[in-house]
Amino acid sequence: MLTTTLVLAGALAAAIPPAATPPQDPAAELAKIAARSDGLVTTSVIGRSAFGTAIEVATVAAPGDTPPSDRPAILILAGLHGHHPLGTQLALDHLARFVDGAAASNEEGDGADDETRALLASHVFHVIPVVNPDGQLMGRIGNAKALDLDRDGRTDEDAPRDLDGDGKVTWMRWADPDGEWIVDPDEPRLMRKADTKKGERGTHRMELEAADTDGDGQRGEDDAQGVQIHRNFAHRHEEFDRRTGAWPVSEPSTKAVADFVFAHRNLVMAFVWDCDDNLLGKPKKGSPRGRTQLDGILEDDLELYETVGKLYREHTGRSGEVADRHDGSAWSWLNFQVGIPAFASDVWRVPTKLGEGDDAVEGERARLVHCLEVGQGFVDWHTYEHPELGEIELGGFVQMSDDLLMPAGAREELFAAHHAFLLDAIDRGPAVHIREFTAEKLGQSGAHRLRAVLINDGDLPAQTATANRTRRFSRPRWRLHLGGGSLVVGNDSGQTGNLAANGGKEELEWIVTGEPGTTFTLELDLDPVGGDRKEITR
């Protein structure tokens, strides 16, 4: 197996270039994009992290008929999990593409017709590239808050750390007849649990690189990772785990996002580029049960998630397991409690399978091959004199952000695919129109029968099932303006039912009178998506 792995490693060498490096300063990058955006991108501070760092939102909109506050708004969140800088890079990449796309259309002189400019004139995008700046600055998963995981009254006092000074936190392994682990006989660089059912016995212990800094007899027991912002939102928040926060939305980062969302009632869709994913596979279905918070997508919304997931996989060519976690995640809160469709993806993962047929490697072996090829993420085992354990070995997989293992050349294509997906996905939505508005003369009385057909041509229902539950949006409203005429039968305003996706319709009828030449106007409005208007003169 070792030989196969090495041969495969050789074969893949050309395919996987060295790993990419992350941008050093997202705030500076954002400022640069805003500066060259010709007013398209404006930034503001929506709050401060636990450490006190500004959390910025970039708002992107071009001048248009409707002010940005009344247009359909799209929210993009990234940088919640501190080890996921790739999401932040992607969020900044969307901004750069919007700015460059709009600028290119201006140079050609037909800016108003350009796709990007038209999109930015009819929509508004709110992009928060770093929800958890503490995590990225401190290299930890959560924010700057100090925690006491082992409840000894001291915080962050004993985290796994770099003992041998190679700049990396790896693993320790040492021989111990009571250990559960064995050195993988097929690949001695990997460890695996002994399979006692097959008569194997553990020979080693394995722990993260750590020493007992505070002398309490335990190593690495207080890991200094802060509160996890990506698990601190209000839907199915996990209680009694200090890492998820003392209560839902307990952290300044989460509160800033929640306040922003509640202050922008025109948000219609959200994207979360972070550690969770609900696009790579079939979403889990949930049914309302009493007062329990939903643990899956409502049946009527399943098609939406399946359609958009398929779109994502087509655009990006990605496949894999969904990780549609609900516990305190940003997307689940946005979907189930705020009531807007929220799509989440981790953007890239270390491959879990490489090669085909007999040469295929999976799981940790695939990871090892990948790390060797990108030249990062794995350290060869080497002896080390541990202060408490004596001679041990240090090595194995490095504790680091998986994003840093992404091959450098892969990013451009992946980001372009994600941007194309974003544009395609926001096209999915309800689109209500007045298909017909007709008048028929009734005898010689001067009365007319008006008829209208209202239709939803979009590929989402006028109101998603969750939006209906949260009552965030109302169903489409219509109003008949009589232009000096009068209404004999019917109402001059009302609300439609929930017009179904792809052709859901409703017919309306009135009897009116008026002087010859009277103009009757019918308005249809689905706030904040927009509507239609038609008139008829009799």
CA dihedral (244, 246, 249, 254) in degrees, to 10, reads: -50
Contact, 457 vs 503, CB < 8 A?
A: yes
Phi, psi values for residue 402, rounded to 5°: -60, -30
Q: Find the shortest distance in angstroms from Cβ 215 to Ca ion.
A: 7
Give the chain's largest Cα–Cα span. 107
Cβ closest to Ca ion, residue 36 vs residue 382: 382
In 3-state terms, what secondary structure has residue 361?
strand
Cβ closest to Ca ion, residue 148 vs residue 299: 148
Phi, psi values for residue 99, rounded to 5°: -65, -50
Q: Find the shortest distance in angstroms from Cβ 402 to Ca ion.
A: 18
Query: Residue 382 interacts with Ca ion (CB under 5 A)?
Result: no
Q: Which of 100, 150, 180, 303 binds Ca ion (CB under 5 A)?
A: 150
Cβ closest to Ca ion, residue 33 vs residue 398: 398
Positive or negative: CA dihedral 281, 287, 292, 294 = positive
**Cα dist from 428 to 47, 94, 304, 334, 419, whole Å:** 31, 18, 9, 18, 15
Contact, 431 vs 488, CB < 8 A?
A: no
From 58-66, 68-76, 159-167, 353-361, give the range in contact with Ca ion by CB under 5 A.
159-167
Q: Find the shortest distance in angstroms from Cβ 204 to Ca ion.
A: 18
Binding mask 172-211 for Ca ion (x = CB under 5 A): ----------------------------------------
Q: Which of 148, 259, 388, 492 binds Ca ion (CB under 5 A)?
A: 148
Query: Residue 164 interacts with Ca ion (CB under 5 A)?
Result: yes
Cβ closest to Ca ion, residue 216 vs residue 457: 216
Residues numbered 205-224 forming contacts with Ca ion, rule: CB under 5 A: 212, 214, 216, 218, 222
Size of the site for Ca ion (CB under 5 A): 14
Distance CA 352, CA 360 (A): 10
In 3-state terms, what secondary structure has residue 57?
strand
Distance CA 408, CA 392 (A): 35
In 3-state terms, what secondary structure has residue 9?
helix
Cβ closest to Ca ion, residue 166 vs residue 424: 166
Q: Find the shortest distance in angstroms from Cβ 189 to Ca ion.
A: 16
Q: Which of 70, 162, 295, 527 binds Ca ion (CB under 5 A)?
A: 162
Phi, psi values for residue 110, rounded to 5°: -120, 40
Q: Find the shortest distance in angstroms from Cβ 395 to Ca ion.
A: 9
From 149-157, 178-186, 415-423, 496-504, give the range in contact with Ca ion by CB under 5 A.
149-157
Binding mask 302-321 for Ca ion (x = CB under 5 A): --------------------
Cβ closest to Ca ion, residue 174 vs residue 233: 174
* Residue of minimal Cβ distance to Ca ion: 158
Residues numbered 215-274 forming contacts with Ca ion, rule: CB under 5 A: 216, 218, 222
Token duo for residue 479: 């109003």
Token duo for residue 107: 């140079």
Contact residues for 156 (Cβ-Cβ < 8 A; gap 6+)? 146, 147, 148, 222, 223, 224
Contact, 538 vs 451, CB < 8 A?
A: no
Cβ closest to Ca ion, residue 227 vs residue 279: 227
From 30-38, 146-154, 231-239, 450-458, give the range in contact with Ca ion by CB under 5 A.
146-154
Q: Find the shortest distance in angstroms from Cβ 325 to Ca ion.
A: 27
- Around 484, how many Cα atoms within 13 Å sit in the side-chain half-sphere? 8
Nearest to 143 by CA among 154, 158, 130: 130
The H helix count followed by the E strand count for the chain is 11, 22
Query: Residue 393 interacts with Ca ion (CB under 5 A)?
Result: no
Q: Find the shortest distance in angstroms from Cβ 225 to Ca ion.
A: 13
In 3-state terms, what secondary structure has residue 180?
coil
Distance CA 494, CA 474 (A): 12
Cβ closest to Ca ion, residue 165 vs residue 357: 165
Geometric angle at alpha carbon 141, from 139 and 145, rounded to 5°? 90
Cβ closest to Ca ion, residue 168 vs residue 231: 168
Q: Find the shortest distance in angstroms from Cβ 233 to Ca ion.
A: 26
Alpha helix (H) ranges present in 317-357? 330-332
Q: Find the shortest distance in angstroms from Cβ 242 to Ca ion.
A: 10
Q: Which of 70, 100, 166, 184 binds Ca ion (CB under 5 A)?
A: 166
Q: Find the shortest distance in angstroms from Cβ 400 to Ca ion.
A: 11
From 160-168, 177-185, 406-414, 492-500, give the range in contact with Ca ion by CB under 5 A.
160-168
Alpha helix (H) ranges present in 285-435? 299-316, 330-332, 363-374, 410-427
Cβ closest to Ca ion, residue 209 vs residue 274: 209
Cβ closest to Ca ion, residue 150 vs residue 300: 150
Q: Which residues bind Ca ion (CB under 5 A)?
A: 148, 150, 152, 154, 158, 162, 164, 166, 168, 212, 214, 216, 218, 222
